[in-house]
Amino acid sequence: MAPGLAREGAYALLRHAFVDRDVARAWAGTITTNLGSRRALAAAGLSCTDEPAPGVLTYEVSSSVWRALARTADPTS
């Protein structure tokens, strides 16, 4: 995958969820060894919040936090 596409895709999905659908919170999961996914999720504004099982990570962001971050970090512009 080309650099930045995962971040842009995550951003677009979050924008749709928070702006178009008025979702309150979004979450995603990945495995600890998938560093590209972890970087993309963090770059899109999600924070690692839990490790529900060994090697599995949960990331999440609220609408209000994402909106504040999106004002300064829109990767599509």
Digit-coded pLDDT (tens) for 37-66: 999 999 889 999 999 999 999 999 999 999
The class that CATH gives domain 5-70 is alpha beta
**Average model confidence (pLDDT) across the chain:** 89
What mean pLDDT is predicted for residues 63-74?
A: 85
Taking the domains of the chain in order of start, what are their residue ranges?
A: 5-70
Strands 25-31 and 56-62: antiparallel
* Residue 76 reports pLDDT greater than 70: no
The pLDDT, as a whole number, for residue 6 is: 86
